[in-house]
């Protein structure tokens, strides 16, 4: 990889590697390392991917706990899984343009693997590990905050999973599980509003609206949960208080 390519990537992430071999390893796929001319070949980025898993999970967990100090462990675990998933990391790798820096074997390059979602995510994960090994936690924390957490629309992430809480409450009461039915869809495709009807045992107990089906389901579940809790309090059953 030419030195100017290193500089381009370093400029993009706002970090200069003291040990450029770490960056080289992060960008080296196994197919290229196995065909390297020097004895022993170049080191591939697979081991770095292993290290990244622990680092990224810790930093994302740290950010979630700071942002949602009152949330339950189960909810935080779901949010963490979402933020470290390939679905979230792939757009980050594309924004960084990691595909053009990736070192591949000739056959893999000709097959278009440079644009592979799996390889781009693997490379991003290896880059996280390389940053940690070169600059420690401060360097990798800045990168994660700037590139992996900056694109999160926190206002679109509910701090409470009302659907799960409703499901648990209904199970405690031995009630039928909730059913979510789309009652209405309004607006153009890019700005559609959904209305969800929530039914329990065939009876409509609430409706919720949102700019996505998931958001509308959460709104309907929140209303149903509130109604059910009010009824439970009035019943005077101490087990359900």
Q: Which residues are catalytic?
A: 53, 125
Residues 6+ apart with CB under 8 A from 99: 93, 114, 115, 120
Q: How far is residue 172's CA from residue 21's CA, in Å, rounded to a whole number? A: 57
Considering only CA atoms, which of 38, 25, 20, 49 is closest in space to residue 102?
Answer: 25
How far apart are alpha carbons 134 and 23 in whole angstroms? 9
Cα-Cα end-to-end distance for the chain? 64
The residues, any chain, with a CB within 8 Å of residue 44's CB and separated by 6 or more, are 25, 28, 29, 30, 32, 33, 34
Report the distance separating Cα 123 and Cα 101, nearest Å: 10
CB 147 within 8 A of CB 92: yes
């Amino acid at each position: 990889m030419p030195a100017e390519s290193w500089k381009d990537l370093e400029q993009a992430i706002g970090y200069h590697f003291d040990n450029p071999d770490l960056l080289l390893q992060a960008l080296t796929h196994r197919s290229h390392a196995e065909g390297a001319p020097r004895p022993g070949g170049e080191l591939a980025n697979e081991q770095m991917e292993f290290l990244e898993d622990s680092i990224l999970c810790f930093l994302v967990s740290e950010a979630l706990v700071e942002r949602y100090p009152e949330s339950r462990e189960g909810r935080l675990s779901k949010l963490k899984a979402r933020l470290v998933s390939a679905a979230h990391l792939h757009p980050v790798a594309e924004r960084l343009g990691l595909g053009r820096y990736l070192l591949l074997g000739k056959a893999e390059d000709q097959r278009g693997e440079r644009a592979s979602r799996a390889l781009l995510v693997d490379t991003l994960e290896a880059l996280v590990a390389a940053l940690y090994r070169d600059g420690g936690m401060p360097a990798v924390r800045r990168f994660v905050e700037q590139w992996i957490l900056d694109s999160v629309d926190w206002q679109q992430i509910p701090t409470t999973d009302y659907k799960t809480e409703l499901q648990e409450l209904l199970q405690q009461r031995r009630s039928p599980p909730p059913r979510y039915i789309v009652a209405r869809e309004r607006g153009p495709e890019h700005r559609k509003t959904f209305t969800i009807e929530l039914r329990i045992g065939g009876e409509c107990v609430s409706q919720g609206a949102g700019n996505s089906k998931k958001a509308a389901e959460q709104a309907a579940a929140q209303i149903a949960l509130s109604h059910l809790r009010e009824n439970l309090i009035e019943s005077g059953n101490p087990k359900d208080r």
